[in-house]
Structures are given as structure tokens and as C-alpha cells.
Structure 1
């Protein structure tokens, strides 16, 4: 069966082909100007799904990286303050050894007692250290000062908050970043509570009781070892945070690469396609003009 081709049908077909070529050329020009293969969901529905997934992963990764950065800064501050506390304990032991040898006069003993009192105040200041406006040795009650500086406070009876401060640093990973004052300086009633031990040392120095000073050495040494153990744990936590942060950076790089492969345009390839599309469109225009200009009079000549 022969199909009769009319001039109207030819015109419609030519216009349809021209519009399709023009659409392809316009789509390529949009990709080149934006630098992206996907500018709207209809460009690549499957690619859009992957791109949204990758962007969601990158957003979550960014939050985890902020958490690890904050956690590492908190741990670094804790380690710094613990180091200062270790210096205080070293000086305390030096004074105790010197004052227990029998070579100190009463005046020297009083001077040593005064220095120990100042060392105690320094430990109180360390116990009230803050990071980002939060007291680092007071658990989840980080908005409250753990060791009040009011005159006459018996710091050996002070108890800090013992709850853990945890940061979410990864998918289903909660990580404790804090060390409590009770753990580091000693709990109320502990024989080696650093503030109680220093009070006893001051009293012994003021009374000139050398044997009492010597008797306190074991408690001070015990507390120093516990402080060192707490600092070692902070170091271990810092190492883990650094490892997690390194893994997050690797994940970010990998996900960014996948997103780039999904969305980003190969400009060189697109330019070749755009040039080809323009050539096809111009050829279609030229051939259409030649065909549509033909009439019955042209065939009768």
C-alpha cells in the first residue's frame, strides 16, 4: 500500500527534526555553560538518585569531621592541662623531699608550706579549665564550675560530675572525650585525693613534722601515677580521633570523586558533540530550505 506524502506532512516532519536537533544543541550548550551533565532530573533520573545519595553522604561526613575536630581540640586542651598538673606534682614532690631531710629551718618550712598552698591553687585553676566555654573536668555539667573558688572551700570534699561527654564522630560511633575531675584529682574520701594530700602536707610542714611529710609521699606518688594513667588514656583517645578523621577525609575524597563522575561534564567531549550537533542542525536547515522552496512551477520548467 502506497502512502501519499503531502507537503504538509513533509513540513511537519522537517520541523520536528529541526526542533529535535535544536533541542540537542541547546542541551549541550547548557551542559557546557554549567559544567555539569545533569542540570535537571530528566537529564539522567538514575544519575540524579546517585548524586543525591553522594551529596547526603558528604553532608554527613562534614558533620562528623566537625565533631572530630572539636573532639581533638578538647583532647589537646585536656592533655595540655594534665601536663601542667604533672609539673605541679613534680614540684610538690621536690618540696616534700627537701623538707623531709631535716635541713630546712622553721622559716624554710613555712616558705615550703606557702608554696604548696600556691601549688594547690594552681591545681584548682587547672581543674576549672575551660574549652569553648565548657569546663573540661566536670562531665556533662560542663556549664558549672567544678571547683568553686570561694574562700574556705574544702576541695578534698568536692565531687565533680561523673557522666561521660560523648561526641558522634562516625556512623553509630559515640566517643567519650572527657576525663572527670574525680578521676584525675581524686574522689571525695580517696586516701590519695590530691587536695586532701596537699592539705596534710601543708599542715605537716607548718608543724615541722618531717615524718608526717614522708608518710604522705606514697599517697602523692599514687595520685601522680593515676594522673599519668589518665593522661595516657587521653593520648590513646587522641590517636583514635586522628585515625577516624583520616578515614573521614579518605571517604570524603572517594565520595567527591564519585559525585564528580556522576555530575561533572567532560568538556572536551561535550565541545565535540556540540560542534557535531551544530553542523547537523545547519545542514538540516540548508536541506530543508532547498526542499521547502520547491513548488509545482519548479517541476514544470
Structure 2
């Protein structure tokens, strides 16, 4: 049996073919203008899934980068505070050595040294209460506004610390244990300087205080070195994270971006094909009144 082919059927077929050609042309134009291969999930479901995974990894890397920057801020602040604290303690030690020669010093001279030691103690307490973004850096995760109160009591919780996640399974401590560095209460370096001041005014031997100051200076230097090693570790992780971000950006471009040269060639070819189809269809099918009545 021979099927009857009418002009209406030919027109409908031509219209479908032209619409398909126009759709392909539009897709290539979108790719050329956006330079993206994936404009909607149906373009490549697997590619879209891979792109989503890479973007998730990018967001994680960006968060790690923010954590690293925050950690560097903490450690830089602590580094400056410990550097200043070391300088203060060394000055205090020099004054204690000077004051220990009580036989050659007049009372006004001892008083002058005592006043300077008190000033150094207060400045040391200020350094011990150093803050970063409103949080004391020597108090762990304490919610108090200071690491040490007026009685030299440490406000941090024993064993608490501030960590920053810098990788999938990697964290770095970014605070320092104020109780370990400065002591607390009657056993603190602040109380030690106060005892030295009292002994100086009374004309006592300051040998015990001098020995304890040496111990405290050694402790501060040791913690300072530990902070420096953590900062170095953060810098190393930051470099790795930057390399990872660049790699992820390259992966995403490989999934989403088009080969612009190839797309332009395809676009030109499709434009020619579409124009040719239009011309052929218009010549082959001359609709008349009978075409619509058939």
C-alpha cells in the first residue's frame, strides 16, 4: 500500500527539521557567547555531576583558606606578644640584678628600680591579655574578656585550646596556653615581679627571684619557638591549598568550558546548513491554497 504524501506533511516535516537545526544553532551560539559547554543539566548529566563535585571541593578549599588566614592572624598576634614579653622579662631581670646590689644603692635608687619593675609587670600583664578579634589569645576558648584578671588568675579552661581546620583531617592549634607561659595566681610571673619589688624595697636578697625569672624567660622562649613552628606549618598548608585551588579551577574548566575554536567552526557550519535548509525548503515547497485544503 502506497501512503499518500501531501504538501502539509512535507511542510510539517520541513518545519521539524528546521526547528531542530535552529535549536542546534541556538545551542552553539549560547556556547560561543558564554564559553561554557554546560548550560543546563540535560546537556551532559555526568559532566554536571562532576562539576558539582569539583565545586564542592572548591568551597571546602576556600573555607580552609579562610581558616588558615584566621590562624595566621592568631599566631602573628601571639608571636608579637611573646616577643614583647621576652623583652620585658629581660629588662626586669636586668633591674633585679641591679637591685640585688642593695649595698651600693641608696633607698631612692631602690625605689626608682621598684617603680620601674611595677611598670614592667603591668605592661607584661597587658601583653598576657593580648586579644585577636576581641578574644584573648592566651585563654583558650574562654569567653572572658581577659586571660588574666587583677589577681593574676588565668580565666582559660584547663586543656582547652583553639584549633583551626586546614584540611579534611588536619587541624592546627592557633592559641597559646597562658597558664603555662605566665603561670597564674601566686605562682605567676606577675606575682614573682611583685615579690621582687617587695624584696627590693626591704633590702632583701633577690637571688631566688632572679633564678625564677630565668626559668620564666626560658619558658617564654620555648613557647615562642613552638608558635613559630605552627606558623611555618600553616604557611606550608596555605601553599598546598593554593595549589589545590588552582588544580580544581583547571578541572572545572576542563569539564565546563568549551573549545572555543571548535565551537566557532561548528557554529559557522551550522549557520550555513540552516541557511541552506531554509533556501531548499522555500524552493521545494510553494504553499498554495490547495496546500492548506489538502
TM-score, L = length of structure 1:
0.89
CA contact (8 A) 1:68 1:245 kept: yes
1:145 and 2:146 matched? yes
Residue 94 to residue 187, structure 1, CA distance change in 2 (3 Å): same
Residue 272 to residue 205, structure 1, CA distance change in 2 (3 Å): same
1:129 Cα deviation from its structure 2 partner: 0.9
Aligned positions of 1:239-254 closer than 5 A: 239-254=232-247
SS in 1 for 2:105: coil
Which residue number in structure 2 is paired with residue 170 of structure 1?
Answer: 167
Query: What is the CA–CA distance in structure 2 between the aligned matches of 1:154 and 1:220, rounded to whole Å?
Result: 19
* The one of 161, 167, 181 aligned to 2:157: 161
Query: What is the CA–CA distance in structure 1 between the aligned matches of 2:156 and 2:95, rounded to whole Å?
Result: 28
1:236-260 C-alpha deviation (Å, 9 max, x unpaired): 1111111111111111100011111
1:136 and 2:132 matched? no
CA contact (8 A) 1:128 1:135 kept: yes
* The one of 198, 202, 209 aligned to 1:207: 202
Query: What is the CA–CA distance in structure 2 between the aligned matches of 1:154 and 1:38, rounded to whole Å?
Result: 65
1:117 and 2:118 matched? yes
- Which piece of structure 1 moves more, 107-116 or 193-202? 193-202
Aligned positions of 1:58-97 closer than 5 A: 58-97=58-97
- Which piece of structure 1 moves more, 258-267 or 222-231? 258-267
Which residue number in structure 2 is paired with residue 36 of structure 1?
Answer: 36
Query: What is the CA–CA distance in structure 1 between the aligned matches of 2:157 and 2:123, rounded to whole Å?
Result: 21
1:21 Cα deviation from its structure 2 partner: 1.0
Which residue number in structure 2 is paired with residue 277 of structure 1?
Answer: 270
- Which piece of structure 1 moves more, 98-107 or 26-35? 98-107
Matched length = 286
Which residue number in structure 1 is paired with residue 254 of structure 2?
Answer: 261
Residue 65 to residue 143, structure 1, CA distance change in 2 (3 Å): farther
Residue 71 to residue 170, structure 1, CA distance change in 2 (3 Å): same
Which residue number in structure 1 is paired with residue 291 of structure 2?
Answer: none
1:251-281 C-alpha deviation (Å, 9 max, x unpaired): 1100011111111233222121111100000
Query: What is the CA–CA distance in structure 1 between the aligned matches of 2:246 and 2:108, rounded to whole Å?
Result: 66
CA contact (8 A) 1:159 1:187 kept: no
CA contact (8 A) 2:139 2:154 kept: no
Residue 77 to residue 121, structure 1, CA distance change in 2 (3 Å): same
CA contact (8 A) 1:88 1:123 kept: yes
CA contact (8 A) 1:169 1:244 kept: yes
TM-score, L = length of structure 2:
0.91
CA contact (8 A) 1:161 1:180 kept: no
1:213 Cα deviation from its structure 2 partner: 1.1
SS in 2 for 1:167: strand
1:125 Cα deviation from its structure 2 partner: 0.6
SS in 2 for 1:293: coil
Query: What is the CA–CA distance in structure 1 between the aligned matches of 2:229 and 2:154, rounded to whole Å?
Result: 28
1:103-143 C-alpha deviation (Å, 9 max, x unpaired): 32221111111111111100111111111011111111144
1:85 Cα deviation from its structure 2 partner: 0.2
Residue 15 to residue 160, structure 1, CA distance change in 2 (3 Å): closer
RMSD: 2.0
1:7 Cα deviation from its structure 2 partner: 3.7
Give runs of ≥4 in structure 1 deviating > 4 Å.
Answer: 1-6
1:189 Cα deviation from its structure 2 partner: 5.7
Q: Structure 2, unaligned stretches of length 5 or more?
A: 289-294
